Amino acid sequence: MSKEEHRIVKGQVMVPYELALGRTWCHFFDCLKEEKIMGKKCRKCSRVLVPPRSFCPRCFEDMEEWVEVSQEGVVETWVYVNMPFFAQELKIPFISAQIRLDGSDSGFIHQIAGIDLSDFDKVRERVKLGDRVRAVWSTEKKGNILDIAYFEPVK
Amino acid sequence: MGKAVAIIGTGQTKHGRRSDVCYPDLVRESVTTALQDAGITLKDIDGVVLGTMPSMMEGVSSTHFYFAEAMGALNKPVMKVETCGSTGQSIGHCGYYWVASGMADIVLVVGSEKMSEGDGQATMTTVFDPFFQRTFAAGAPGVFTMQSMEWMYRFNIPEDKGREAAAMISVSNHDNAMDNPHAHIRVRVTMDEVKNARIITYPVRLLDVCPASDGACAVIFASEEKAKKICKKPAWIKGLGFRGEEFFYGESDKAIWMSATEAAKEAYKQAGIRNPLKELDVAEIYNPFTYQEMIFYECLGLCPRGEAPDYVLKGTFKKGGQLPCCPSGGTLCSNPIGATGLIRLAEAALQVTGKAGARQVGGAKLALSHAMGGVDQFNGVTIVGSKL
Ligand SMILES: [Zn+2]
């Protein structure tokens, strides 16, 4: 059978959502506006998690204690993204990274930027696992994750 | 374990771009083949289980409504289960539970996907939370690359060595797919072609990555009594395990990967397996990315941590090696996601019943099947054997 005989019909589904942020995450984003990165500490296992949780996933206990963590940390892993897909929020190329902020016990997902990203071979020389990076803040705060504009390598 | 349960029939479509059929007809193709293989009719089926990717992938919500007739589910109990990439293992487990509980004698399990009709990476991105991580998500390749980089760094695996072993996995999976009439990608590739293919998300290149496939798979589960009556050579379920971990990426250690490790441990315990590398005859591991296949070898206890590249380079998991992995060509050569984990189980069942055709591993008696789902969050394992 030739391809012409396979009739394709185009379709699209669009649905709007209104998502409740909840108290814990609301406080996290309020603190971002003040250029503070907050985690929550579990009184049972003592781990500090960023993003903060209302309860510890491992202990199932309420997490009540807020702890400010460092704006610097170590790159645990990263990926150079140069692959477009529908509804992508960031412009390619960009670097997604898992960063262990000092004073926290989990990896924080954000982007590494502030360097020339156009040439991958140069990026590879600049960004390494185990390197230190620090938060760079957006001048205009919107109360979302991009209030931290990106993380940049610490020289 | 509950009552003994066997697989008495399997059916797969030709996987690939299947714009020759609408989605329900694709599903029916696998169901009809499985019924023929088992030598039974719809009348014998007590219940039906379906699994697919999230509705964003399908463009139609709750597809067990859309496929009810194609699965022959009129006037029968129907369940839908979905766990992203591990869906195929989850629905297999669901079929097992249903029969093992004694509440059904014969259950039909169906997994399907028509990847060519939607946007796989956009769908994967909606699996991430909407506030913290989705912004930085780069579909499946992004996650699996981050995991692979972390794993190589953790175990001091030199980049060249990792690259060489991953290329070898690509070559052997592509070779294996030549023996599988259902496989989507059926071309041989060379080491040089893999190592020089276009970069997707460094160090992952085009030939390290699975295709987006259309396809369906159906598997029929039966009680001991029915299996012995209907089927000359059933594949018996020997053990199964399923584990999940934290939702937020970065919160658990993906270089060690608790969910994959513990799911396998549980399945081995039930199957009475102490040394999987020695005792298993064949394994169908969920390998959408070559590098990730190596992490699975370690998590499934087939080699020590950090040594998977050495085992790959000495040919342990190749055709003719100590434990052949993915003689079907694996997920790397066909990935209709909702079906993929069930295809692994169907292939394992074909192996232990001597029905795997050109891809048969001679004398296989004990086989492992596996799948992984979500943002590296869930893992499922099922072990089948030729003896009860
Ligand atoms: Zn805790």
Give distance in angstroms: CA of A41 to centre of ligand 1: 8
**pLDDT of B62:** 94
Q: By three-state DSSP, how is residue B60 classified?
A: coil
Looking at the predicted structure, is the pLDDT value of residue B1 above 80?
no
* Domain ranges within chain A, ordered by starting residue: 22-153
CA distance A117 to A93: 7
B76-91 pLDDT, tens digit each: 999 999 999 999 999 9
| Segment 213-242 of chain B within 8 Å of chain A by CB | none
CA distance B213 to B231: 31
Position A3 confidence tier, pLDDT thresholds 50, 70, 90: low
Tokens of B196: 């020089």
Q: B149–A129: do the CB atoms touch at under 8 Å? A: yes
Looking at the predicted structure, is the pLDDT value of residue B308 above 90?
yes
Q: Which of chain B's residues have a Cβ under 8 Å away from the Cβ of A144?
A: 131
* Domain ranges within chain B, ordered by starting residue: 5-118+212-230
Q: B132–A1: do the CB atoms touch at under 8 Å? A: no
Position A4 confidence tier, pLDDT thresholds 50, 70, 90: low
Chain A: give the shortest CA distance to residue B355, in Å: 30
- Averaged over A60-73, what is the pLDDT? 98
Q: By three-state DSSP, how is residue B53 classified?
A: coil
B109 and B18 in contact (C-beta within 8 Å)?
no
**What is the predicted ipTM?**
0.95
A134-148 pLDDT, tens digit each: 999 999 999 999 999
Tokens of A70: 């460092």
Q: In what order do the strands lie in the sheet with A48-49?
A: A48-49, A37-41, A65-69
Interface check for B95 against chain A (CB to CB < 8 A): the answer is no
Architecture of domain B5-118+212-230: 3-Layer(aba) Sandwich (3.40)
Q: Which of chain B's residues have a Cβ under 8 Å away from the Cβ of A151?
A: none
The letter for the amino acid at B206 is: L
Chain B: give the shortest CA distance to residue A59, in Å: 12
Chain A: give the shortest CA distance to residue B342, in Å: 27
**pLDDT of B332:** 98
B141-152 pLDDT, tens digit each: 899 999 999 999
B238-255 pLDDT, tens digit each: 999 999 999 999 999 999
Looking at the predicted structure, is the pLDDT value of residue B320 above 90?
yes
**pLDDT of A2:** 53
Q: CA nearest B128 in A: which residue?
A: A109
What residues of chain A have any CB closer than 8 angstroms to a CB in chain B? 1, 3, 6, 8, 11, 13, 17, 19, 21, 25, 29, 49, 51, 57, 76-83, 85-90, 94, 96-98, 106-111, 120, 124, 129-130, 144-146
Supply the Cα-derived Rg of chain A in whole angstroms.
20
Give distance in angstroms: CA of A62 to centre of ligand 1: 9
CA distance A129 to A123: 12
For an interface test with A, which of B123, B202, B206 has the most A Cβ atoms less than 10 Å from its Cβ? B202
Q: Which of chain A's residues have a Cβ under 8 Å away from the Cβ of B248?
A: 51, 106, 109
